């Protein structure tokens, strides 16, 4: 499930001798393929180490994917009759991944970086004292990406450079591996930008000022070309075809990441104190990137949302099923899902920026407190509208698909954080008289309903919902809130019976992995 989000945000390089459709169709296959190529190319094959890293990678995939079992056809009622049973299985799988994670920490490969990322984002840590381990895995995963990139540049200096436009395949090869390296480096950038923006941490892959020359200047070039080419599409108002949607998502996702990066520079100026640029400069850059996204992509995204709302129920189902061409065999991905996530992420970036100014009691030149408060209204309303779009999809379901498209998000904790920040922003707007009490309650009802949807996938959502409920109580705003079916079960730890059953399931998985079957072929058959 990680592949869709990453592949929906591909690197800003379109010139390659390898067609996207020729590449492996999941991020896992892409990673395994490149690691195998590197071992062969450099003559560094170590079968024992390869097998250990493969095991670590596979266990991390299991730990990451386990949280979606209750919303898939595999999570049958016979296996998961209670929340405790599911918690027990997730806990066992996470502990199994933790026992094998050391090899990924100590050996930088693309599988290791992927395993560390999945392990850190699985949301299944059993004790709070593992938080340091999880944070460390995030950091080491990004350090692996940077180290692998530098090794590739050193080993293949004559073949490619950062985001080279004219990479070429070697004789006898069907895949442009420099292009594959670019794709995986871009995934590292996406993770790093998310981490710096949402966690307020210094960047690892793009520290200091190197991001502009290394990455974002290329993004701007492609966005300028996109803006010229798609001017008529924005003005026509026609339905957007799948090929056009693919191009739009590529560029919109890159633009969103560039905006997040600019927000992180404001954090570096006000909080981390690692850049010399004054607030006025970093804030102006962030606002310029925000305006660029709204000008180039706002109407296109709005057209897709409009088209979906105007369709009847039967055609909405078909619209949801418009899969991206390069993910044609991945039925769990819909065009609408990725567009909704884009809207959530971009507008949450604006709220993060405004919250940062409020917390630091800083006002950029030319902006008053009233101006910043008005800036808050539009992104808050946009998030509520996007959530409302997802709630209209509740009746849509195919085999192995959840009831709501929000559950297709490979990082539901990020979506939960976006929704929490939206709810907090609604309360701020209400307290300061920007929106009426009735409007606040109506929009908060949408927010709490979205929390109820996301609570089907265990993670931070329950804690975020409780936090918002307390804020509402403090501000005497009531008349909303929903009880999720899982909420009523409580947060009790799994009992001995559930743990024993979960260990039996995990034992079967371990036997399968440790058997005589070729683990490498098993990995190639998995879509994470």
Report pLDDT digits (tens) over 318-356. Answer: 444 443 333 333 333 466 777 888 899 999 999 999 999
Tens-digit pLDDT profile for residues 356-367: 999 888 888 888
Mean pLDDT calculated for residue range 59-64: 92
- Output the CA torsion sign for 399, 486, 463, 353: positive
26 near 527, Cβ under 8 Å?
yes
The most confident of the ranges 92-106, 129-143, 472-486 is: 92-106
Q: Is 125 or 221 the better-scoring residue by pLDDT? A: 221
Pick from 304, 272, 338: nearest CA to 9 = 338
Asked if the structure places residue 318 within a domain, the reply is yes
Of 411, 438, 467, at which residue does a domain stop? 411
Asked if the structure places residue 480 within a domain, the reply is no
Mean pLDDT of the chain: 76
pLDDT at residue 213 above 50?
yes
What is each CA distance from 478 to 447, 465, 470, in whole angstroms? 13, 14, 11
Confidence at residue 414, expressed as pLDDT on a 0 to 100 scale = 92
Q: Is 215 or 77 the better-scoring residue by pLDDT? A: 215
182 near 13, Cβ under 8 Å?
yes
**How far apart are alpha carbons 447 and 426 in whole angstroms?**
10
Q: How many domains are contained in the chain?
A: 2
pLDDT band at 265 (very low <50, low <70, confident <90, very high): very high
Confidence at residue 383, expressed as pLDDT on a 0 to 100 scale = 94
Residues 287 and 202 in one domain: no
Tens-digit pLDDT profile for residues 413-471: 999 999 999 999 999 999 999 999 999 999 999 999 999 999 888 888 999 999 999 99
Asked if the structure places residue 470 within a domain, the reply is no
Helix (H), strand (E) at residue 293: helix 279-310
Residues 157 and 109 in one domain: yes
Confidence at residue 209, expressed as pLDDT on a 0 to 100 scale = 77
Mean pLDDT calculated for residue range 292-314: 70
pLDDT at residue 523 above 50?
no
380 near 438, Cβ under 8 Å?
no
Structure token pair of residue 84: 């405790």
348 near 383, Cβ under 8 Å?
yes
Tens-digit pLDDT profile for residues 100-128: 999 999 999 999 999 999 999 887 665 56
Q: What is the pTM of this model?
A: 0.81
Asked if the structure places residue 479 within a domain, the reply is no
Q: Is 401 or 31 the better-scoring residue by pLDDT? A: 31
**How far apart are alpha carbons 348 and 415 in whole angstroms?**
10
pLDDT at residue 285 above 80?
yes
Residues 384 and 280 in one domain: yes
Residues 40 and 132 in one domain: yes
Of 391, 411, 431, at which residue does a domain stop? 411
Helix (H), strand (E) at residue 231: helix 231-236
% of the chain at pLDDT higher than 70: 68
Diameter of the chain by CA atoms?
A: 70
Mean pLDDT calculated for residue range 214-228: 89
Residues 239 and 224 in one domain: yes
Helix (H), strand (E) at residue 343: helix 335-360
The whole domain housing 255 covers: 208-411
The region of weakest confidence among 41-50, 214-223, 315-324, 351-360 is 315-324
Residues 194 and 213 in one domain: no
Structure token pair of residue 329: 């065999």
Residues 256 and 398 in one domain: yes
What is each CA distance from 152 to 42, 144, 181, 348, in whole angstroms? 11, 12, 8, 35
Mean pLDDT calculated for residue range 380-385: 93
Tens-digit pLDDT profile for residues 137-156: 999 999 999 999 888 877 66
Residues 94 and 194 in one domain: yes
Q: Is 75 or 384 the better-scoring residue by pLDDT? A: 384
Tens-digit pLDDT profile for residues 189-204: 999 999 999 998 899 9
What is each CA distance from 384 to 115, 256, 436, 477, in whole angstroms? 34, 19, 16, 18
**How far apart are alpha carbons 105 and 85 in whole angstroms?**
30
**How far apart are alpha carbons 443 and 305 in whole angstroms?**
18
Residues 125 and 38 in one domain: yes
Residues 371 and 255 in one domain: yes
**How far apart are alpha carbons 457 and 455 in whole angstroms?**
5
Pick from 312, 459, 465, 290: nearest CA to 378 = 290
72 near 402, Cβ under 8 Å?
yes
Confidence at residue 168, expressed as pLDDT on a 0 to 100 scale = 47
**How far apart are alpha carbons 167 and 164 in whole angstroms?**
6
Asked if the structure places residue 498 within a domain, the reply is no
- Give how far the C-alpha of residue 201 lies from the chain's centroid of Cα atoms, to the nearest Å: 17
What is each CA distance from 232 to 241, 298, 339, 374, in whole angstroms? 14, 14, 20, 31
Structure token pair of residue 274: 């690692």
Asked if the structure places residue 141 within a domain, the reply is yes
Confidence at residue 317, expressed as pLDDT on a 0 to 100 scale = 42
352 near 417, Cβ under 8 Å?
no
Structure token pair of residue 372: 């910043």
Rounded to the nearest 5°, which phi and psi values hold at 122? -70, -20
pLDDT at residue 512 above 70?
no
Asked if the structure places residue 443 within a domain, the reply is no
Q: Is 135 or 314 the better-scoring residue by pLDDT? A: 135
pLDDT band at 388 (very low <50, low <70, confident <90, very high): confident
Residues 181 and 220 in one domain: no
- Output the CA torsion sign for 14, 18, 19, 24: negative
Write the burial class of residue 67 (CB in 10 Å: 0-12 exposed, 13-18 middle, 19+ buried).
buried
Asked if the structure places residue 445 within a domain, the reply is no
**How far apart are alpha carbons 503 and 505 in whole angstroms?**
5
Of 411, 433, 456, at which residue does a domain stop? 411
pLDDT band at 256 (very low <50, low <70, confident <90, very high): very high
**How far apart are alpha carbons 297 and 222 in whole angstroms?**
13
Residues 269 and 406 in one domain: yes
**How far apart are alpha carbons 407 and 485 in whole angstroms?**
16
């Amino acid at each position: 499930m990680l592949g869709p989000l990453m592949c929906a945000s591909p690197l800003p390089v379109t010139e390659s001798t390898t067609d996207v459709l020729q590449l492996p169709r999941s991020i896992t296959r892409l990673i395994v393929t490149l690691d195998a190529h590197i071992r062969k190319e450099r003559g560094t094959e170590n079968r024992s180490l390869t097998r250990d890293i493969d095991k670590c990678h596979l266990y991390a995939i299991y730990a990451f994917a386990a949280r979606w079992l209750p919303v898939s056809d595999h999570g049958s009622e016979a296996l998961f009759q209670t929340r405790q049973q599911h918690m027990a299985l997730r806990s066992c799988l996470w502990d199994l991944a933790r026992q094998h994670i050391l090899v990924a920490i100590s050996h930088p490969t693309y599988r290791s970086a992927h395993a560390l990322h999945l392990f850190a984002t699985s949301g299944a840590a059993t004790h709070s004292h593992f938080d340091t381990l999880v944070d460390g895995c995030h950091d080491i995963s990004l350090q692996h990406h940077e180290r692998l990139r530098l090794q590739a540049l050193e080993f293949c200096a004559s073949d490619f450079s950062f985001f080279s436009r004219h990479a070429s395949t070697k004789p006898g090869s069907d895949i442009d591996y420099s292009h594959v390296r670019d794709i995986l480096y871009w995934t590292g950038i996406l993770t790093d930008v998310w981490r710096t923006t949402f966690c307020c941490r210094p960047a690892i892959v793009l520290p200091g000022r190197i991001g502009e020359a290394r990455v974002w200047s290329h993004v701007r070039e492609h966005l300028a070309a996109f803006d010229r080419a798609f001017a008529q599409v924005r003005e026509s108002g026609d339905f957007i075809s799948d090929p056009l949607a693919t191009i739009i998502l590529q560029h919109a996702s890159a633009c969103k990441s560039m905006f997040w990066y600019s927000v992180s520079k404001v954090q570096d100026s006000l909080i981390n104190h690692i850049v010399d640029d004054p607030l006025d400069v970093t804030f102006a850059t962030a606002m310029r990137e925000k305006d660029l996204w709204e000008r180039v992509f706002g109407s296109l995204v709005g057209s897709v949302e409009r088209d979906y709302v105007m369709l009847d129920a039967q055609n909405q189902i078909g619209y949801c099923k418009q899969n991206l061409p390069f993910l044609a065999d991945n039925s769990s991905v819909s065009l609408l899902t990725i567009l909704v996530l884009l809207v959530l992420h971009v507008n949450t970036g604006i709220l993060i920026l405004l919250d940062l100014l409020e917390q630091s009691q800083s006002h950029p030149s030319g902006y008053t407190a009233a101006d910043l408060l008005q800036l808050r209204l539009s992104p808050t309303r946009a998030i509520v509208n996007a959530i409302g779009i997802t709630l209209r999809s509740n009746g849509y379901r195919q085999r192995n698909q959840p009831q709501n498209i929000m559950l297709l998000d490979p990082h539901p904790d990020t979506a939960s954080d976006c929704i929490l920040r939206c709810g907090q922003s609604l309360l701020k707007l209400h307290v300061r008289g920007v929106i009426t009490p009735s409007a606040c309650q109506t929009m908060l009802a949408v927010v709490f309903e979205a929390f109820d949807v996301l609570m089907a996938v265990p993670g931070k959502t329950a804690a975020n919902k409780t936090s918002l409920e307390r804020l509402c109580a403090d501000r005497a705003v009531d008349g909303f809130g929903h009880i999720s079916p899982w909420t009523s079960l409580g947060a009790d730890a799994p009992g001995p019976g559930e743990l024993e059953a979960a260990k039996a399931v995990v034992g079967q998985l371990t036997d399968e992995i440790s058997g005589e079957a070729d683990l490498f072929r098993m990995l190639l058959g998995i879509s994470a």
